Each structure stands twice: as structure tokens, then as C-alpha cells.
Amino acid sequence: MSRYHFSLVLPALFLVSCGGGTQPETKKEEPKKEAAAAPAPAGEATITGKVMFTGTKPVMRAVSMDATPACARMHKDSPKSEEVVVNADGSLRNVFVRIKSGLPDQKWPVSAAKVTVDQVGCVYKPHVVGLMVGQDIEFLNSDETNHNIHPLPRTNREWNESQPPKGDPKVKQFAQEELMIPVKCNVHPWMKLYVNVVSHPFFAVTGEDGTFTIKGLPAGEYTVEAVHERYGAQETKVKVDATGTGKAEFTFKG
């Protein structure tokens, strides 16, 4: 519905650069060189918010790595499962937040930035990542032990590759939109990562304060979705004008 409305305002949005100009008065008329090569009608609206947790905080099990001394010796105490991480202020970490609908119907240029996942002490770092369809995701192995990276997608291609101790980075892409793809390690059953693949650059993952910020949006009315590996998905609608900031608040109940 609203996407047709947006297509009418696209020509105007093309004039808006991605920012970074030193002359705020004139930057709208001076798109950056990269923007000219791959025009993106990025806007200047922002959606921000915080994901809270309510209810009884689940107790996360301690992960025993005793079977693999190379992993265990990297930790003073047994690390806790990251399935649910409630921050000190009661917010929820590792929630993937994205624009679910309301964006103009167009192809967004794939970000040239690489998303990096490391394996440190036999734990995937970070625990949840987001990237665009076709964007590079690089897997590192900082450990002195073998890992096996094994995504278990529902629509993307499944693969499964071993990576030797301190092995060369593996660079991969995901071809389809898909949220919360579990990635395991066939060697260490406790290792878990979630990869979220979307067709546009408007997403974020909550961290130590549970907040998220999605910048560069065109004016519009958006459905914002927050997804957590245990508590599932929630959505809310947020309207923003061309340079405004909208708030999206979520609360997941334990």
C-alpha cells in the first residue's frame, strides 16, 4: 500500500545524500561521489528505542567446556549460555530489530562493509548479527582449536565447513532474506550464533543497554520488528517525517 506512495517521492529523495558533508546548508544538493555511482534515496529520519525485559529472569546454564581443554582454559569461570541476556538495567540484549515494512519498493545497494564473527574461547562473538543479502560475513577463528561453522537455514543454502586453529578467515554471503538463522559448531555443541539477513540496511542489534538506532530512513510509516531467539517476534508501527526521530519500544516477557 504505502510503498506506492513512496515511489512518488523517490525523485526528491535522490537528492538527499548520505550525509558527511561539511556544509549542512548545501549538502542536500551535493550527493557524495559514491552516492552518485550507486544512488540510494536514503533519508534523514531515525527510529530509535529500547528493548526491555519483564517477568522472571531465566537462569542461564553454565557451559562446561571441560571436554575441550583448549576452550576451557580460555575462561576463568564457565561461561553462561547467551540464550537470554538481561542487562543490569532490565533491558534485553541480542535482539535483532529491523524495518519489516513501509520502505520504498526498491533495491538497496549492498553494504561494502564486512560483518565479522570471531570464535574466541569457543564462543561465537557476537552472538547475534545482522547483514544484507549478498553482504560479506567473515568468520574468524582466534582459538587454538578446530571449529566447524554450520548454519542451519530454512531458506538459504546450508553449509558446513571446518576451520583449523587460527585458520584463514572464511568469507561468505547469504542469498535470501531470513531471520534468526542458527549457526552451530559440529565440534562444540554449546556454540551458537544467529545470523539475520535482510534486503535493506535498516536494522540493528541491541547491546549492553538494550537500545537500538536505525538511521537514514526516508519519511514514512514503518512496521518495526524485534526478534529474539527465545521470545520470538514483536512489531510496532512508527511514523517519522523526513528529518524526524521516531520511538519504537518493545518489552519481552520472560
Q: Which residues bind Cu ion (CB under 5 A)?
A: 147, 185, 187-188, 191
CB of 94 to Cu ion, least distance (A): 19
Taking the least distance from each CB to Cu ion, the nearer of 134 and 182 is 182
Can you read off the three cell numbers belonging to residue 56?
522472571
Q: Which residue is at the shortest CB distance from Cu ion?
A: 185
Taking the least distance from each CB to Cu ion, the nearer of 68 and 245 is 68
CB atoms closer than 10 angstroms to residue 253: 9
CB of 137 to Cu ion, least distance (A): 17
Cα-Cα end-to-end distance for the chain: 35
Which residues face 237 on adjacent strands? 223
Spatial CA neighbour of 237 closest among 6, 43, 7, 49: 49
CB of 148 to Cu ion, least distance (A): 6
Amino acid occupying residue 37: A
CB of 146 to Cu ion, least distance (A): 7
Encode 126-150: b = buried (16+ Cβ within 10 Å), e = exposed: bbbbbbbbebbbebbbebebbbebb
- Rounded to whole angstroms, the Cα distance separating 38 from 191 reads 38
Can you read off the three cell numbers belonging to residue 169?
578467515
Taking the least distance from each CB to Cu ion, the nearer of 2 and 68 is 68
Taking the least distance from each CB to Cu ion, the nearer of 187 and 242 is 187
CB of 95 to Cu ion, least distance (A): 25
Taking the least distance from each CB to Cu ion, the nearer of 9 and 187 is 187
- Rounded to whole angstroms, the Cα distance separating 153 from 178 reads 8
Taking the least distance from each CB to Cu ion, the nearer of 53 and 194 is 194
CB of 123 to Cu ion, least distance (A): 9
